[in-house]
Chain A
């Protein structure tokens, strides 16, 4: 079995700032109350990070928007066969919606995207806890005892066709910080040949 893992450039779609520095907590507003992740607990902007073996290109930090608040955007991906879409994501409360997978042959499927709450919550959908800010940033202070969690979740690509793009949910509660595509190739063995 071999794997191809390809981070997707989502920089052109970043539209929300969900990470802030302790010295400038007001610069982030992940949710409507202006709460944000604490930068000091997260990777550096642009770092290549690995979560459960999956590489993600972490978004810019402290330099404008760092995530996509989902609103039906279409992400063009390098055309090819894939099996999984991995995401670094967080939600304003526990949430499930759908991502459309679009293919070169014109077919479109709807696949589930399930993301647990970022607010001191468990991985309700079995995600991997990718990063945890042990404090919550408020516009006017840093709150101890309330963590902010970023999840590593995955979406299946079930159709055996070339993927060309992803249409994100029309759902302001869902935020994506990074996207990586994965292809799994099963190699024929002597026994299985």
Chain B
């Protein structure tokens, strides 16, 4: 029997600074009729949880210990998610069949090494997310959607998908940031409590006010603690600090880029140049994350030697955070 979600293939939702995490959630939100940028870009926070970072492209810090990635990604929209794994080793597809039959998309964790459409195929192990929208057990095919370049929608042999979905994702020297993390046939269910209300200046102001309070209470201090720890570990020659920086920073960078883009878009649509300018300031945070993350990536072989440049980029990034928080809180006197 074949199970496929109804309608067109899932939308490939993508921005150049996001990871497969935001891309897959965006795809599911679009299918629910929601505007992915409005949902995923409404919130903006800084959270680093020491010892929590995993070497996965889709790592994102969750206040509740990874139980609800959706709430962490979109804290103002009743977005939720839950990880699950197949309950029956003898029938790995039972849950996916059930969800597809109910016309629901599934996000699945995979190892790029085993997926023929990924550039890393047969070359590099890396933890990644794709959207599953069909299953044809007669022909031996799984239908997956992946917005990350090279964007792909289509069929993958079941055997290849199973290898990818069940991969140990072993340590790979070619990708120190996203290997060495067991895939374990993890999947995500994602849902919204209710269809999002159209975004208005009042609603957006409420989101910004809530996030600004968190930034004032803990966000900027949290960044300072994170940066001090990062620089200190680099000076001590701890390459682990840089191995964690790349996946951790991706989540923070993606969030800032989406929030900034949303504010800029709303500023233009609502004729509010102060809001548009605040959005641009938040985007500058995302752009400053590039310097820190890429410096860390290149410095992995000698963390101590990279420590001065890491300290420089952490200082630049802290400045961008301060300016952006000031810009968004200045909007409407928030």
Residues of A within 8 A of B (CB): 31-34, 91-97, 114, 116-117, 119-122, 124, 136, 138-141, 143-146, 170-173
Q: Closest approach, in angstroms, between the C-beta of B295 and any C-beta of chain A? A: 5
Task: Determine whether the beta carbon of A32 is less than 8 Å from that of B149.
Answer: no
Q: Which residue of B lies closest to A96 (CB)?
A: B287
Task: Determine whether the beta carbon of B149 is less than 8 Å from that of A97.
Answer: no
Task: Determine whether the beta carbon of A121 is less than 8 Å from that of B16.
Answer: yes
22 pairs, CB–CB < 8 Å, chain A vs chain B:
A32-B294, A32-B297, A93-B290, A93-B293, A93-B294, A94-B16, A94-B17, A94-B287, A94-B290, A96-B284, A97-B291, A120-B149, A138-B119, A143-B119, A143-B150, A145-B150, A146-B119, A171-B295, A171-B313, A172-B291, A172-B294, A173-B290
Chain B contact residues: helix, strand, loop or mixed: helix
Q: What A residues does B309 contact at CB under 8 A?
A: 170, 172
Task: Determine whether the beta carbon of B291 is less than 8 Å from that of A140.
Answer: no
B268 at interface (Cβ–Cβ under 8 A)? no
Q: What B residues does A32 contact at CB under 8 A?
A: 294, 297-298, 300
Q: What A residues does B293 contact at CB under 8 A?
A: 93
For chain B, residues 212 to 262, give those with C-beta under 8 angstroms from any C-beta of chain A: 257
Task: Determine whether the beta carbon of B290 is less than 8 Å from that of A92.
Answer: yes
Complex CA–CA separation, A119 to B123 (angstroms): 19
Task: Determine whether the beta carbon of B287 is less than 8 Å from that of A95.
Answer: yes
Task: Determine whether the beta carbon of B294 is less than 8 Å from that of A92.
Answer: yes
For chain B, residues 151 to 209, give those with C-beta under 8 angstroms from any C-beta of chain A: 151, 174-175
Q: What B residues does A114 contact at CB under 8 A?
A: 287
Task: Determine whether the beta carbon of B294 is less than 8 Å from that of A173.
Answer: yes
Q: Closest approach, in angstroms, between the C-beta of B262 and any C-beta of chain A? A: 15
Q: What A residues does B300 contact at CB under 8 A?
A: 32
Q: A95-B290, A96-B287 are in contact. List 20 more A-B contacts (CB 8 A).
A: A31-B294, A32-B300, A92-B294, A94-B16, A94-B286, A94-B287, A95-B287, A95-B291, A97-B291, A116-B16, A117-B16, A117-B17, A119-B16, A119-B149, A120-B150, A124-B16, A139-B174, A143-B119, A146-B119, A170-B312
Task: Determine whether the beta carbon of A173 is less than 8 Å from that of B17.
Answer: no
Task: Determine whether the beta carbon of A145 is less than 8 Å from that of B291.
Answer: no
Q: Closest approach, in angstroms, between the C-beta of B299 and any C-beta of chain A? A: 8
